[in-house]
Structure 1
């Protein structure tokens, strides 16, 4: 699966192709001077991708002690390549160069990674991605716990269930912009069918279109029906299956790309600055954090490049209605 993501990204490894791609994207977004900007950014776009690939190649060979650092920097380079598709002048000022995320500087006694949290800063790469690439608002100074973030990666669910951590979700069907939720999902929310439909329409901005074969059918923005841009549905890559959180507090309104970035940032900071705790965890396998971290690193190494490839290839099909695919 990893090869699939990078194989698709390697399609851009030509200045001629990258310039054509960027010019098309800039034109579709009605940006100023698309030809000049695509000429200016064609090489930079490739360099970001290639630099990311170098980090990922080293991460594949590296031991777990330094793998989070390499993967995080690889992620940052991939995101910078994506930003060039929505912000031709990136970086226009120094405030967008920082990571844009913070975590606790000193870990408390009896620290648990699963219970740690990160905070999104008002400036930096993270906020620029949120605003420029995904057009999301209201996330300035938001805090997210590792528990919240990990619950939004379906592949982690087996680990959480094995560790007796409740993370209910239901399998859903997504086809041609329609999302079908099993009617029993309402029971998980302790709601009547009518109340559940109203809840989904209000909080997720989906439109109820009817009932069919034991499912509630909704229509939504095209971005919600694709894993790299959805902020509500959860996507399992191996089986290409969509899930819907079966608990009200599981919705973070973040695309999974950002979920991976925030978790990887925290892990990279731990690997760099919390050496004593980090090596105690890795050598002693002293807590459940070890298995969670190990599984996350394996998943994100495959899944993050896949999402980036789909996001970029989707922009080739972008139309002026704002639909990515």
Structure 2
């Protein structure tokens, strides 16, 4: 990637290519054919009728998302998370139309589907804050239709645990707290090799680790080769934008798994970005005093995590959405 001197130009440059590729869908004729193909593959009823009905809506969601992201790229940090969150929501809705032709079939799926706990005015720490997934709303709806996930309604996640699942932020954890939450692995298509020292760090025997990964992630054990355990991945875990076990650093082009077994969230990274950005957006909208103290005085480590996360998600999230759509092209 070519880096430019001016920070604002860098951000615009980073978003150019994925929007250029997403703009390939900005044609009703091509989008109708695309949606009909997806509906036929998914066994949806009335594929041709639904593709005709949804083609313009699909384009409008993408174009609205592009407007939010491009505005965010040249906006100050104070309002950037709000713009990014609404752009992210529009991208998710575009993906939802491909899997749920009747979205939204009822008003309960229009809400964000996440809640944040009430904040204490004193000694508030962003990394200790948490969000809860609601039973109704966009979050559970897209998790069900895009990733086939259910049964996690009312689950709570701390910001620290969510941020630790984004490998591009691992350097911050190590610099600030001397903590490593990810462990490097080797991946080749649908095969992964897990070093023996990771298994030891999990405090498991080889057989127990094989059983654990098979039960929780449907990995298939192949063999032990020298100091590695080799597995065949489940279909969901092959691609980083759908995986619930592997972590992928786009900058380093490197795969990881959590360094401890209790750090597995079993969430696709798209969902993790949604949960974090929802919370930051709510803070920017409603916790104005704390938000401006953080941004102007840099009083805590929270500033670096939030600022770096916004840089990562602005670049990474549209790319993952593009990959999700391109699997049907």
What is residue 132 of structure 2 aligned with on the other side?
Answer: 119
Confirm whether residue 166 of structure 1 aligns to residue 179 of structure 2: yes
Confirm whether residue 98 of structure 1 aligns to residue 111 of structure 2: yes
Per the TM alignment, residue 312 of structure 1 is displaced from its structure 2 partner at its CA by 0.7
Q: Using the alignment, how far apart are the partners of 2:253 and 2:28 within structure 1? A: 32
Gaps of 5+ in 2: 1-13
Q: Quick check: 163-172 or 75-84, which moved more?
A: 163-172
Per the TM alignment, residue 214 of structure 1 is displaced from its structure 2 partner at its CA by 2.9
Equivalent position to 2:195, from 157, 182, 204: 182
What is residue 12 of structure 1 aligned with on the other side?
Answer: 25
How is 1:284-299 mapped onto 2 (pairs within 5 angstroms)? 284-299=297-312
Per the TM alignment, residue 165 of structure 1 is displaced from its structure 2 partner at its CA by 4.9
Equivalent position to 2:260, from 230, 244, 247: 247
Q: Quick check: 163-172 or 295-304, which moved more?
A: 163-172
CA contact (8 A) 2:27 2:59 kept: yes
How is 1:123-142 mapped onto 2 (pairs within 5 angstroms)? 123-142=136-155
Q: Using the alignment, how far apart are the partners of 1:249 and 1:192 within structure 2? A: 16
CA contact (8 A) 1:180 1:216 kept: yes
Matched residue SS, 1:184: helix
How is 1:1-325 mapped onto 2 (pairs within 5 angstroms)? 1-316=14-329
CA contact (8 A) 1:179 1:225 kept: no
- Give structure 1 regions of 4+ aligned residues with deviation exceeding 6 angstroms: none
CA contact (8 A) 1:174 1:225 kept: no
Q: Using the alignment, how far apart are the partners of 1:8 and 1:165 within structure 2? A: 39
Q: Using the alignment, how far apart are the partners of 1:132 and 1:306 within structure 2? A: 19
Tell me the TM-score normalised to structure 2 length: 0.93
Matched residue SS, 2:92: helix
Question: Which structure would you say has the larger RCO, counting Cα contacts within 8 Å and 6 or more residues apart?
Answer: 1
Gaps of 5+ in 1: 317-325
Tell me the TM-score normalised to structure 1 length: 0.94
Structure 1 residues 257 and 55: alpha-carbon distance in aligned structure 2, compared to 1, 3 A threshold: same
Q: Using the alignment, how far apart are the partners of 1:294 and 1:106 within structure 2? A: 20
Q: Quick check: 40-49 or 159-168, which moved more?
A: 159-168
Cα offsets for 1:294-315 (capped at 9, x unmatched): 0000000000000000011113
Per the TM alignment, residue 194 of structure 1 is displaced from its structure 2 partner at its CA by 2.3
Q: Using the alignment, how far apart are the partners of 1:214 and 1:14 within structure 2? A: 52
Q: Quick check: 137-146 or 213-222, which moved more?
A: 213-222
Number of residue-to-residue matches in the alignment = 316
Q: Using the alignment, how far apart are the partners of 1:128 and 1:17 within structure 2? A: 26
Per the TM alignment, residue 30 of structure 1 is displaced from its structure 2 partner at its CA by 0.7
Cα offsets for 1:205-256 (capped at 9, x unmatched): 2111112353211112222010100000000012221101110111111000
Alignment RMSD: 1.2
Q: Using the alignment, how far apart are the partners of 2:15 and 2:178 within structure 1? A: 28
